[in-house]
Amino acid sequence: MAKTVVLPREPLSLSERTYLPQIVTGLKTTFSNMFKEKVTLQYPEEKPIIPKNYRGVPTLVKDPNGREKCVSCQLCEFVCPPKAIRITPGAVSEDDNSRAHVEKAPKEFEINMLRCIYCGYCQEVCPEEAIFLQEEYSSSGYSREEMINKKDKLYELGGTLPDSHYKWDKKKSAEDDGNDH
Amino acid sequence: MLDFELLFLVGLKVLFALLMIGAVMTMAGYSVLAERKVSAWMQGRVGPNRTVLPFVEYIPFLGPYLKKMGIFQPLADGLKFLFKEEIIPGHVNKFYYNLAPIVALVPALTTMVVLPFGEFFTSDGESIPLMLADLEVGILFILAISSLGVYGIVLAGWSSNSKYPFLGSIRSSAQMISYELAMGLSLLPVFLWVSEPGTGAMGLSLVDIVHSQGNAPWLLLVQPLSALIFLIALFAETNRLPFDMPESETDLVGGFHTEYGGFKFGIFFVAEYAHIVVGSAIFTIIFLGGWHFLPWVADPWPSTWVGTLIGIGWFLAKTIFLIFFFIWIRWTLPRFRYDQVMNLGWTKLLPLALLNLIFYVLLVTWIDQPAS
Amino acid sequence: MGSNGNTSSITINLNGNDVDVPAGINLVEAAAIHGTEVPHYCYHPQLSVAGNCRMCLVEMGNPMRDRGTGEPILDENGVQKIGWIPKPVIGCGTNVTPGMHIKTESSMVTDSREGIMEFLLVNHPLDCPICDQAGECRLQEFATDYGRGYSRYVERKNVKPKRTRLGPRVTLDDERCILCSRCIRFCQEVVDDDVLGFVDRGSFSTLTCFPGKELSNNYSLNTVDLCPVGALTSTDFRFKMRVWFLKESPGICTESSAGSNILVSSREGVIHRITPRRNDSVNDSWMADSGRELYKSVTNEKRLLTSSVESQKCDLSSAINSAVTFLQDKKLGIVGSCHSSLEEQYLLTKLAKTTKAKKFLRGHFGDDDGILVSADRTPNLRGTLVTGFSTKYPTDDLTEISEAIDKKSISTLLVVGEDLFNSGLTPDQLKGVSIIYIGTHENATSSRANVVLPSLTSFEKSGSFINRSFRLQKFKQAVPGPAGLLPDLHIIASFLNALDQEKEQTSDIVSIWKQLSKSSTNPLHKIKYTDIPQDGIQLDSTRWSDLDFVEKKAMHFSPRKLNKVTQN
């Protein structure tokens, strides 16, 4: 164990005991601070710079061909700690050429922004890379209903993100010209 | 039988009084703005810069500048206080609860009656001080009335029937009593010094104090210790940080006005700043030469109405600097603990003021001994 | 499971520990008894062993004996040597023998499992996000537990047809099939309806229906439950809900007196599917497709949701009050129901005793399929016998009542669930009769009734049924009932309390059971509700052996055996 060393304390001089020099030093410090650059961000006019990997409002994204990526596996609904996500799964009709091989798509997708805690688990868990927390951070509305983001709104907020896999396209090409019977 | 001349005089005085109230209240309001702006600057922020009257913003250069400086903020704050819902908590003593803000504001405004803020020269070259009432015992009046302000705080704390206001008001009254002594004692040497022996006419008039500093050293330089003690006591009397005992929002929520809201709180707020304005003015008069230019320098302005205006302006400038000083101190020093306040008042300032008094008594006696 | 005393116990060595297991079982079961999992796909305890998935490979060895003399070969320590078979054997196809050594955790076993998993996954699509089996998929589970964790397969995967319709209720996704043949064996062995088979060879092997046939038997959905992967999917449940959201609660199928054990899967008070629950004395692991549809009645539009008096809607308590005034009629008749739980029938019997009412009962009969849909289409006909509501076997009508009405001995009827108008009674006959109806759904009787008291379905309440072989089985509330509705027990108990102010009748099941099990002549004697095991209790039925039950011989049921069963 380290030994406790008691440092001797210098007795205060008379001027120090009046505290007046210290007060003057303090006054100097505060005065000089008045002329330094201000750090306030004038919010609605000036927006903060959003860092990379910022977790804003959760959104649904489409692939570069404009097709929805979500297959309504409901993992995000499962993992969501505040239970903000609600998905009604649906089937893709067999006539839909671009998506028929995916079979499943959300019929309705709701994220309750009053419940969402922006934890990003949904993005992390998504096996299809369909849900992303993007830069948008300010959402407001006049009623509770308005604060529930429906599927349309989610796709509008999400836009299109690049896709490095095209998983379902690969599957389709295998089906079209692969080891078929 | 009506004495019309007297009526006219009374009417004139009332008009002046109203003007003065307007001036002091405006200064109090803008002190609030100054407080917010200065604290913001000292903390690297920008302070209030959003409020603006309609269309003013479109005036080139000036409009945006006024907005940036928050010039209209006190207006908005005042309106806000006016239009807020008046809530009277169920547990209060209603009469005293309503009375307290008035009792707090009235002494703050009454003290300005004897404040001289300039002088006017008649065509004969005679100097007439600008003030509402030239009392021979001006300083006594000020000491007497300003300490009445504590009644407002005590009443507010007691009638609120709640623990934090009660603690705040107890602290406040103890603090007032403690520092009143030092304040009074620190002023005695000043008047001893000013009253030249033999003339006899010199009393406790504030006008004479100012006159004695014209073309002469300011009393700040003659009696620095008195000035220091008076200044510290002034901070304590106006409940400013670091002597913010009655309010001390960190430990007493809102202190004596915890249970107050709306316009009644606004009155307390304004009263506090009115105290600061009046206090600054008194310090200017007694120690900073009032409307006189600089120590040892004769006023460079002519003895006409122009000189009067410049004098008033100079007086205002000194007062405003002091107000700034009040704010500056507030955002520099932390609050004392209650026991530290008491300790400072009774064991440091009071003996110091007594020693100071004894020293000047001896000094003045020595100087005044007839040259035999 | 567990030994019933007939099978002898033998000792084997499992992963280095000597353990006792019943003779005649295979290695998968033997390991399971001692808490060791041997992963398997094709093996099912209630189907024949096919041994084609190879997932259950284990290492096996037997004590060595000299071939010539039969003397045990000992090692230097004097312990009999073990002759390990150099290659792994399948656990499902190997039965235990005394002294057998098996290893389920050796490196050879681990390697074998990894290899098998790799082969199974070679052509398996990455469908998990859209696959209904995800979450209860053996392939997912074993890939996690025993798989390699990554894929070495870079070639293109095989593609097979998706969305193949095998029958009206089953859809096949061929890509996901791992060719375990459980479904084929089920159709052959349990339903005796040979419709499924494999065609083509190697990686082209495909499950399909025989030409001209489809998988339309009433047990087709069991193949979906059997399927260890997501190849066979229920067309009804397809894409409806992920299984990890479902809360399962044990229930009893009310379709017929077979009393299949079921699991009711619900999410947030909405039932999404019904699957069989294993009970080796009743339904093995199967149930009829028709029974799986029953949950749809819960949200049926004909569901009674509000109580009413003279067709005027009112709250439940005032409806009960006006029902009580009707019940004070001296010429009261009570029509019980074989659909009611045992406890409800008991309270109804008590009510009949209090009001001195005549008791009537109707049976509902259909065809017996010889498996799990019996001729008696009610779950609890035997409950009416045990509780004493009825002493004779009911007929499929209520003509008894019409005789009583004609004799003017009935002027008020309390009807539980039955429809008088399709039971042989005419509107003219019932003209002067007041009717109180307690039931879950609208029918002709409920629209004619003076007081209608809505009640809860068997999914929304707890209770017990007695099945065709006099097996007492309890079911648990799976979902909350519609707002404002109370269980039948509560309604009948409040009748009793209003009619007989002196004796407080509780509506709590456990307390009712205390009254039920009091009589020593009753087969329920000394049974506590909380002690009824999940797979039920066999009751003594000798008292009713002379009744002419309609059920035919079926799975785990023989009409002749009824007389012989005695309570242990």
Residues A35-54 have pLDDT tens digits of 888 888 888 888 888 898 89
Q: In the prediction, which pLDDT does C564 show?
A: 47
- The whole-number pLDDT of residue C561 equals 55
> What 3-state class would DSSP assign to C263?
strand
Q: Which residues of B touch A32 (CB under 8 A)?
A: none
Residues whose CB falls within 8 Å of the CB of residue C110, separated by 6 or more in sequence, listed in order: C146
Interchain proximity B42–A30, CB inside 8 Å: yes
Q: Considering the domain boundaries, does residue C148 fall inside one?
A: no
pLDDT tens digits, one per residue of C42-81: 999 999 999 999 999 999 999 998 888 888 888 888 888 8
B chain contacts of residue A37, beta-carbon cutoff 8 Å: 44
Averaged confidence pLDDT in chain B: 83
A145 touches chain C (CB under 8 A): no
Backbone angles phi and psi of C27, in degrees to 5: -70, -30
Chain A, chain B: beta-carbon pairs less than 8 Å apart: 36
Computed from CA positions of residues B135, B140, B141, B146, in that sequence, does the dihedral angle turn out positive or negative?
positive
C394-421 confidence digits (pLDDT tens):
988 888 888 888 888 888 999 999 999 8
Domain span at residue C232 reads 128-134+154-299
Residue where the block lists tokens 């006190």 = B74
Q: B43 and A36: CB-CB below 8 Å? A: no
The reported pLDDT for the residue numbered B370 is: 65
Instruction: Select the residue of A73, A174, A180 nearest C129 (Cβ to Cβ).
Output: A73
Residues C205, C199: contact at Cβ < 8 Å?
yes
Q: pLDDT value at position B125?
A: 67
pLDDT value of residue C7: 65
Question: Residue C126: is its pLDDT beyond 90?
Answer: no
CA distance C160 to chain A (A): 7
Asked if B43 reaches chain A (Cβ–Cβ under 8 Å), the answer is: yes
Interchain contact C/A (3 or more Cβ pairs less than 8 Å): yes
One DSSP character per residue, B160-187 reads: TTSHHHHHHHHHHHHHHHHHHHHHHHHH
* pLDDT surpasses 50 at C563: no
**Same domain membership, residue C384 and residue C314:** yes
Pick among A68, A69, A70, A74 to test the C interface (most C CBs inside 10 A): A74
For chain B, the straight-line distance linking the first and the last C-alpha, in angstroms and rounded, comes to 59
Q: What is the CATH number of the domain that holds C292?
A: 3.30.70.20
Q: Give ipTM to 2 decimals.
A: 0.81
Residue window 239-268, chain C: list those with CB within 8 Å of chain A.
Answer: 239-242, 244-245
What pLDDT is attached to residue A181?
Answer: 45
In this structure, are C90 and C176 located in the same domain?
Answer: no
Give the residue-averaged pLDDT of A65-86: 92
Least confident of B297-311, C129-143, C531-545: B297-311
* Distance in Å, alpha carbon of A55 to nearest chain C alpha carbon: 24
CATH class name, domain A58-161: alpha beta
Residues of C in contact with A167 (CB under 8 A): 126
Among C237, C267, C299, identify where a domain stops: C299
Partner-chain contact B44 A36, CB within 8 Å: yes
Do both C329 and C259 map to the same domain?
no
Give the residue, A111 or B127, on which the prediction is more confident.
A111
**Averaged pLDDT, C364-389:** 92
- Look at C242 and A78 and tell me if their CB atoms are within 8 Å: yes
Kindly identify which residue of chain A lies nearest to residue B42, measuring between CA atoms.
A34
**What is the pLDDT at residue B288?**
85
Query: What was the pLDDT predicted at C3?
Result: 42
Rounded to 10 degrees, the C-alpha dihedral C409/C410/C411/C412 comes to: 150
Q: Please answer whether residues C500 and C354 qualify as being in contact, where contact means their C-beta atoms are separated by less than 8 angstroms.
A: yes
Residue of chain A with shortest Cα separation from C200: A181
> Is residue C211 predicted with pLDDT exceeding 70?
yes
pLDDT tens digits along C183-202 = 999 999 999 999 999 998 88
Q: Which residues of A touch B42 (CB under 8 A)?
A: 30-31, 33-34
- The pLDDT score that the predictor gives to residue A78 is 94
Please indicate whether, in this complex, the C-beta atoms of C159 and A127 are within 8 angstroms of each other.
Answer: no
* Binary contact (A78, C240; C-beta < 8 A): no
Q: Are residues C84 and C203 in the same domain?
A: no
pLDDT at residue B335, as a whole number: 83
CATH number at residue C66: 3.10.20.740
Cα–Cα distance, A175 to A101 (Å, whole number):
9
Number of domains comprising chain C: 3
Residue C418 domain flag: yes
Q: Is B38 on the interface with A (CB under 8 A)?
A: yes
Least confident of B123-127, B128-132, C94-98, C277-281: B123-127
Q: Contact B328/A23, CB-based, under 8 Å?
A: no
| Residues sharing a CB contact under 8 Å with residue C322, sequence separation 6 or more, in sequence order | C309, C451
Mean of all residue pLDDT scores within chain C? 90
Per-residue pLDDT, C471: 93
Q: Are C476 and C449 in contact (CB under 8 A)?
A: no
* Cβ–Cβ contact B332 with A under 8 A: yes
User: What is the per-residue pLDDT for B372?
Assistant: 52
Examine the domain organization and report whether C47 and C84 are in the same domain: yes
| Interfacial residues of A (vs B; Cβ cutoff 8 Å) | 23, 26-27, 29-31, 33-40, 42
- Interior/surface letters B83-105, b for 16+ CB within 10 angstroms, e for the rest: eeeeeeeeebeeebbebbbebbb
| C337 & C416 share domain | yes
Last residue of a domain, one of C236, C270, C299: C299
Instruction: Provide, as residue numbers in chain B, all residues whose Cβ is less than 8 Å from the Cβ of A23.
Output: 332-333
pLDDT tens-digit readout, C424-469: 888 888 888 899 999 999 999 999 999 999 999 999 999 999 999 9
The last residue of one of the domains, among C256, C277, C299, is C299
Residues C341 and C470 in one domain: yes
Residues C338 and C357 in one domain: yes
Give me the residue label for tokens 């709640």.
B162
Touching A: C residues 115-134, CB under 8 Å: 125-126, 128-130, 134
Q: Kindly tell me if the per-residue pLDDT of A166 is higher than 50.
A: yes
* Strand-strand pairing, C434-439 and C412-416: parallel
CB B267 within 8 A of CB B29: no
Asked whether residue C76 falls in the same domain as residue C200, the answer is no
What does the block give as tokens for B333? 């020093």
**Residue B351 forms contact with A (CB below 8 Å):** no
Bond preceding residue A81 cis, omega within 30 of 0:
no
Q: What is the pLDDT of residue C298?
A: 92
Interchain contact C/B (3 or more Cβ pairs less than 8 Å): no
Best residue in A126, A175, A176, A177 to probe C by mutation, most C CBs within 10 Å?
Answer: A175
* pLDDT digits 0-9 by tens, B78-109: 888 888 888 888 888 888 888 888 888 888 88
Chunked in runs of 10, what are the mean pLDDT values of chain B (372 residues)?
A: 79 85 86 90 88 83 84 87 86 87 85 81 73 77 83 86 86 85 86 66 72 78 87 86 74 79 84 86 86 78 79 88 91 86 88 90 78 56
Q: Which of the four pLDDT bands, split at 50, 70 and 90, describes residue C161?
A: confident
- Tokens encoding A178: 């692969």
Helix pair angle (B350-368, B163-194), 10° resolution = 10
Q: What is the mean pLDDT of residues C161-173?
A: 91
Q: How far apart are CA C131 and CA C125, in angstroms?
A: 10
Cα-based distances in Å from B240 to B30, B142, B231, B279, B333:
17, 18, 11, 11, 11
Q: Which two tokens stand for residue B353?
A: 């003021």
